[in-house]
Every structure is written in structure tokens, then in C-alpha cells.
């Protein structure tokens, strides 16, 4: 079933909040990179599924930038947005902000770009309706997503 209305970015946005617990950290008390990647993948998958109303599977992670270490006890806010829809794939951007709840200090700690593919009940890729960027920032991310996709396809090895 194909919808006839185009959805906005806002309709599928996700905001998750997590506290960094001892089991999430390495011996230095810093959040494990793999644990953060797991959280990012979940937030992005929810945004992709909200937009497409389908199960969406991770196809690639283009970029994952660790800007600041994240310590045990800090609170993370993950904000995920669908940047652009191609045919069966969607690019989702995730921004991670860390917060020291004792001081109130917040810092941009991580950014990531992930590509998801919407699938049907048989696990086959299915077309997804476009997304409509409204704000200046959404329009910038929409344009940037096309550039990243061009680079992704350029670097893809032929099968």
C-alpha cells in the first residue's frame, strides 16, 4: 500500500535519552564505542520505520564521528531525523549530545549518518515515499544527503 501524502521530517523524528551506566563503559569509565553505535542504530531505525511504516534494516554507516569522550553517569540525548529518501533507501542523521547532570554542561559528542532499506514481509526492498524538508536546516541536510549518497555509490564495488 502506497500513501499519497508526503511526510515531513518532523513526523518521523526521534529523541532518545540514555544514562551511561557502569556496564556501558570501558576500564577508563568511558562509554564503549560499540555501545554508542548500538544506541545510534536503534534511534535511526525508529526514525526510518516511522517515516516508511515498514521494517527498515541498516544498509550502511557512512560516518561516525567521536568528538568528545562520554563518561559514566552522563546523560545522552540522541536525536535522529530522516534526511532524505531515495527509492527504497533512507538516510538518517543522528546527533548525540552528552550532559553532565551535576553541572548542566552539554556538549555535542557524536554525529552519524546511516542508510536504511525499507523491506516488505518477504524481506525484499520496497519503495518509500519522499520526505519534505521544511526548515532551512532540513533543506541543507536534504541536499547534503544527496552528496553523501553520490560518494557512497561512487565507492561501492561492483558485484
pLDDT in tens, 15-28: 999 999 999 999 99
CA distances (Å), origin 146, targets 69, 84, 94, 140, 149: 30, 8, 17, 10, 5
Q: What cell numbers appear for 153 in the block?
A: 555509490
Is 10-155 a domain of CATH 3.30.930.10?
A: no
Record the pTM.
0.90
**Do the Cβ atoms of 23 and 92 come closer than 8 Å?**
no
Label residue 32 left, alpha or beta by phi (over 0 means left) and psi (-120 to 50 means alpha). beta
**What are the counts of helices (DSSP H) followed by strands (DSSP E) for the chain?**
3, 7
Q: Residues 6 or more apart from 122 whose CB is under 8 A from it? A: none
Binned at pLDDT 50, 70 and 90, residue 153 comes out as confident
Each residue of 56-99: pLDDT tens digit? 999 999 878 899 999 999 999 999 999 999 999 999 999 999 99
Helix or strand or coil: residue 60? strand
Amino acid at each position: 500500500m502506497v500513501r499519497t501524502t508526503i511526510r515531513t521530517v518532523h513526523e518521523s523524528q526521534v529523541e532518545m535519552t540514555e544514562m551511561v551506566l557502569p556496564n556501558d563503559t570501558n576500564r577508563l569509565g568511558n562509554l564503549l564505542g560499540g555501545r554508542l553505535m548500538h544506541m545510534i542504530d536503534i534511534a535511526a531505525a525508529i526514525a526510518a520505520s516511522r517515516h516508511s511504516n515498514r521494517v527498515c534494516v541498516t544498509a550502511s554507516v557512512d560516518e561516525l564521528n567521536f568528538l568528545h569522550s562520554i563518561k559514566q553517569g552522563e546523560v545522552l540525548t540522541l536525536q535522529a531525523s530522516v534526511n532524505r529518501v531515495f527509492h527504497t533507501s533512507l538516510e538518517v542523521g543522528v546527533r548525540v549530545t552528552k550532559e553532565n547532570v551535576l553541572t548542566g554542561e552539554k556538549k555535542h559528542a557524536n554525529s552519524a549518518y546511516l542508510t536504511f532499506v525499507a523491506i516488505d514481509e518477504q524481506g525484499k526492498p520496497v519503495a518509500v515515499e519522499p520526505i519534505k524538508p521544511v526548515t532551512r536546516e532540513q533543506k541543507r541536510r536534504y541536499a547534503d544527503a544527496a552528496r553523501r549518497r553520490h560518494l557512497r555509490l561512487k565507492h561501492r564495488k561492483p558485484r
